[in-house]
Amino acid sequence: MFSPDKDNAKEQKAETSGERVFITIFTGIVCGLLALEIFQDVTPSRLAMVWFFLAYFALTALHEIAHALVARLVGWAVVGLKVGIGPIITRSVWFGVPVEWRLFPIVGLVEVLPKNLQSPRLKNACIYAAGPGVELLIAGLLTAYLGWDTMLSPTDSYVVAGLQATALAAVFGAGFNLIPFSPQPGVVTDGLGICLSPFLTDEHFKRLMAQPALDQGRRLLEMGDPKGAKTIFNDLLIHCPMLLEAHMGLARAQVDLGHAEYALMEFRNVVQALPDSEQERGQIALQQLRDYIKDKP
């Protein structure tokens, strides 16, 4: 279903007490009706719906952990792991990775960064495949345990129905994630990530590798340390001379140090030297730099 452009969308949160009451009543009515549907006649098959959701929540966490584990195994850095949407339940650090758990664990996100350019496309594809892979593995193990016939047959056993529902949740989660599409701009499913991996350029991975340094430089700029930021962006440009974001950071540092005209001239030269495919991005960045200079007191 269509979603409006997220950049223009208001943060979807109930802000006033009236909105909170409305949302509580609305959610209560729908959940109440769904619960009545499930529990009107308690049978193993009906309770399988409850099992399905519980299993899906656990599998979502397992899916994300599998992405992170494989990223670590292939030598990439795991920057963060988030499971769920809605209010944050708890934050913790696992093996040096910040982990965030939210109330509704129906989706998740793992942020990974390459550390070098050794087979980055293959490693990227493996990391994407790990999430649905572990779900398919669980479905396969459950099928092997129950047997194909039992897995597909109606049952009077609550345990068997629970295992069937778990396998179904695993297949559904893996199947949905393997469909190659982009649910919203900038987000791809694991399936599309795997398909796109062979076509990613070295520049893409270099940009990812530069991300921590870019973030650090930007933080220093925000903290009012343009000299420190300039050193970081200069170092970065030695390794990635064509990285537009690093040039932009350097130009901002120069502006903050009082060399606005020089920064603008240098940055214009950088944009002119960009390939045609990058020109539009470069022009937008150039305009942002002009605005940045204009807004400076």
Backbone angles phi, psi at 202, to 5 degrees: -60, -35
Give 173's contacts (C-beta < 8 A, 6+ positions apart): 56, 59, 60, 63, 132, 135
Local structure of residue 102 (DSSP, 8 states):
E
List 21, 31, 187, 284, residue binding other proteins (CB under 8 A): 31
- The correct pick among 34, 141, 144, 273 for binding other proteins (CB under 8 A) is 34
Q: Using CB under 8 A as the criterion, what x/- string covers residues 129-168 for binding other proteins?
A: -------------------------x------x--xx--x
Q: Which of residues 83-102 bind other proteins (CB under 8 A)?
A: 85-86
Alpha carbon distance 30, 62 (integer Å) = 29
Distance (Å, whole) CA 3 – CA 210: 31
Q: How many chain residues interact with other proteins (CB under 8 A)?
A: 43
**DSSP-assigned states of every residue in 122-140:** HHHHHHHHHHHHHHHHHHH
Considering only 27, 157, 201, 288, the residue that binds other proteins (CB under 8 A) is 27
Q: Considering the complex, state which of residue 26 and residue 94 has its C-beta at the smaller distance from other proteins.
A: 26
C-alpha 167: how far from chain center: 25
Asked if 170 touches other proteins (CB under 8 A), the answer is no
Single residue of 21, 29, 223, 284 touching other proteins by CB under 8 A: 29
Q: Is 5 in the site for other proteins (CB under 8 A)?
A: yes
120-146 helix and 202-222 helix, angle to the nearest 10 degrees: 100
Positions that interact with other proteins (CB under 8 A): 1-2, 4-5, 8-10, 12-15, 19, 23, 26-27, 29-31, 33-34, 36-38, 40, 43, 45-46, 48-49, 52-53, 56, 85-86, 104, 106, 154, 161, 164-165, 168, 172, 181
